[in-house]
Structure 1
Amino acid sequence: MFGNMVSNMMVKPYQSPLFDKPENWDLDYERVEFPATDGTTLRGWLINGGTDRVIVESHFGVQCNRGGWSPQGKGPIRPWKEDIKFLRQAKHFADNGYSFLMYDFRGHGESDLGPKPWVSWGPEEAKDVLGAVDYISGRSEFANASIGLLSICMGSGATTYAYGLEDGMAKRDKVKALVAVQPLLYSCFVDALGMPGFLQRAGARVTKERLGFDLAEPNFVDHTPKINVPTLVIQNENDPWTQLPMVEGYYNGLTVEKELKMLDLEKSRFAAYDWVGTHPADVRAWFDKYL
């Protein structure tokens, strides 16, 4: 029983329905669907802001989707009190000449489940990031566009795994820059939660049966040297759900032009997710340099 409970917290799909829409922001957009590289159907919004530069945003996992995160339905203990609306940054980028692809990872929002019907914290979702880039690259109006990757938490992990794959992201030459917001290894997250060891072990057994591997074993940090575009790493230094040496290891592993932006925000991981939407010009400045 405990194993199923813990595993469900970590890998159960479809834990957060869409709660926002582009019409609320007066955005010109179209609903899109496209395949991940393994054929899983993904769905999202393409916000129209121009044809020269496109941002592909990959959201964080489990209790999130392309629209962001909402405290509704999350129980009495909530890590953040207000909606975190990713359309805030989409609006800013569109107003400044960027198109903006917002899509749901497999098992999130309106996208389909993959062959493994659970959230994998990045290894499976890497195929989604690649599919999103391939979709934009294949549209005729973006034939000459540069692509930037805005990857948040699990999105950062999935993007980094995508760089580690054979014929992976490093082969997509339209991608010119990456912003990685709070990359997080599963093992660091579970340790930071202070979950008793017997619960960790019970959950790990169930999750391994579901996914076919131990979530604590894959390590996207090993793939950071394969990232081949300028990369900005953003991290709240007061984030209680991570281990800062892991973030520093991710940054130190990068061999490209890079910057580590440490934020002094309140003691919540979600504060940095919110910061992206309240300070989108700071994020856009990185893409403006390279796209």
Structure 2
Amino acid sequence: MRKKNLFVSAVLGTGIAGAVLVSEYLFKFAFKRVDYVPEAAADKQKYADSYWKYVEWFKKTTKEHWTFSIDNEKESMSAYFIKAKSSSPNVVIISHGYKGNGETMASYAKMFYDMGYNILLPDDRGHGESAGKYISFGWLDRLDYLRWINKVIDRIGAKAKIVLFGVSMGAATVEMLSGEDLPPQVECIIADCGYSSIHEELTYLLKQQFHLPKYPFYPLVSTINHRRLGYYLDDISSIEQLKKNHLPIFFIHGEKDDYVPSYMALENYRATNAAKELWIVRGASHAESYWINPAEYKKHIEDFLDKYFI
């Protein structure tokens, strides 16, 4: 990060042209696909042994590979379906975090598998085995998830009962999905540490990681995104989508999250008028709530589902 900040500082010395170059750099840094999963943050390294055991379980488990094609892409969207141990209409669709993929959600998949669920683990646009040159931070992904939902219903039948679950960017994805016209088979949503909007998240990270102001960089990055992906960043809002939500939703967030600050959980919670619950996990950093106490995490989710997943 120090080298990146030195680069940004050097280019800024050239004025307006420098601001445009820095914005292009920031766009590529944040939005361009990366064909590998970055190493876990230092505070998550202590969970590495457990994490890799879940990944090993995922790799050994019998899976179905699902795909569909999207416009202007040679490759397809990709997801893996894990059938429940016993016949069940219950399905959880799990949305992964930024620069992750379905495999990185193996711990959550195993948790729901042990609860008797069928599991669908998509790779989002610009991630894993799915198509896409750029990361859409949940905005285009929400539309892809509508297609995954329909494929689940085709596979399980009209009796399917679906939970949407996501962590970090995945949480924002299912929050954004909540504002769409969802089929009745989707019964509730669980969102762990999702951001309230890309405007809030990127301006926060500009300051925290790059020590840069919102202007002129955020508007320039937004304009670049519009040229590449067809929409401005202010379109990407969990809050605005949650205002249209009618499904029960459970918000989870780490108290000490310094990547997606916990005040965003409150913004998202206040945005929806649907049945809702909020759990701020004491001492947890970003996406750490499960790892601090997996049994307690599972119990909170089971309690929520006992109320709303009928």
Give the TM interval when normalised to the shorter protein: 0.7 to 0.9
Q: State which of 80, 98, 104 in structure 1 corresponds to 2:117.
A: 98
Q: State which of 44, 50, 58 in structure 1 corresponds to 2:79.
A: 44
Q: Give how far 1:190 is off.
A: 2.1
CA distance in 2, matches of 1:210, 1:274: 37
* Cα 1:37–1:21 shift into 2, 3 Å: farther
Which stretch of structure 1 is more off in the superposition, 244-253 or 51-60? 244-253
Amino acid at match of 2:273: T
Q: State which of 45, 60, 78 in structure 1 corresponds to 2:97.
A: 60
Which stretch of structure 1 is more off in the superposition, 241-250 or 143-152? 241-250
Pick the structure with more helix per residue.
Answer: 2
Correspondence 1:14-93 to 2 at 5 A: 14-17=34-37, 24-25=56-57, 28-35=61-68, 41-49=76-84, 50=86, 51-61=88-98, 63-68=99-104, 86-93=105-112
Q: Tell me if structure 2 keeps the 8 A contact 1:28–1:48.
A: no
Amino acid at match of 2:246: N
* Cα 1:147–1:12 shift into 2, 3 Å: same
Q: Tell me if structure 2 keeps the 8 A contact 1:34–1:135.
A: no
TM-score under structure 2 length normalisation: 0.74
Q: Secondary structure in 2 aligned to 1:229? A: coil
CA distance in 2, matches of 1:214, 1:221: 16
Q: Secondary structure in 1 aligned to 2:23? A: helix
1:220 corresponds in structure 2 to 238
CA distance in 2, matches of 1:235, 1:32: 31
1:2 corresponds in structure 2 to 22
Q: Tell me if structure 1 keeps the 8 A contact 2:168–2:192.
A: yes
Correspondence 1:138-149 to 2 at 5 A: 138-139=154-155, 141-149=156-164
Q: Tell me if structure 1 keeps the 8 A contact 2:254–2:287.
A: no
CA RMSD of aligned residues (A): 2.9
Q: Tell me if structure 1 keeps the 8 A contact 2:70–2:77.
A: no
Q: State which of 151, 157, 163 in structure 2 corresponds to 1:135.
A: 151
Q: Secondary structure in 1 aligned to 2:243? A: helix
Q: State which of 122, 126, 135 in structure 2 corresponds to 1:107.
A: 126
Amino acid at match of 1:42: M
User: Structure 1 unaligned runs (5+)?
Assistant: 69-85
CA distance in 1, matches of 2:294, 2:100: 15
Which stretch of structure 1 is more off in the superposition, 244-253 or 96-105? 244-253
Q: Give how far 1:149 is off.
A: 0.7
Q: Tell me if structure 2 keeps the 8 A contact 1:151–1:159.
A: yes
Q: Secondary structure in 2 aligned to 1:259? A: strand
Amino acid at match of 1:176: E
Q: Tell me if structure 2 keeps the 8 A contact 1:2–1:203.
A: no
Q: Give how far 1:64 is off.
A: 1.1
Amino acid at match of 1:48: K
Q: State which of 156, 179, 183 in structure 1 corresponds to 2:194.
A: 183
Q: Deviations over 1:41-85 (max 9, x none)?
A: 321221222422111101122x211122xxxxxxxxxxxxxxxxx
1:269 corresponds in structure 2 to 286
1:82 corresponds in structure 2 to none
Q: Give how far 1:110 is off.
A: 0.3
Equivalent pairs, count: 264
Q: Tell me if structure 1 keeps the 8 A contact 2:55–2:106.
A: no
Amino acid at match of 2:287: F
CA distance in 2, matches of 1:29, 1:149: 22
Q: Give how far 1:17 is off.
A: 4.6
Q: State which of 134, 138, 143 in structure 2 corresponds to 1:122.
A: 138
Q: Deviations over 1:132-186 (max 9, x none)?
A: 11111111x4442211111222223322333334xx22xx101111101112122
2:274 corresponds in structure 1 to 256
TM-score under structure 1 length normalisation: 0.78
Q: Give how far 1:244 is off.
A: 4.0
Q: Give how far 1:234 is off.
A: 0.5
User: Structure 2 unaligned runs (5+)?
Assistant: 1-20, 40-51
Q: Give how far 1:21 is off.
A: 9.6
Q: Give how far 1:209 is off.
A: 2.5
Correspondence 1:271-290 to 2 at 5 A: 271-272=288-289, 274=291, 279-289=297-307, 290=309
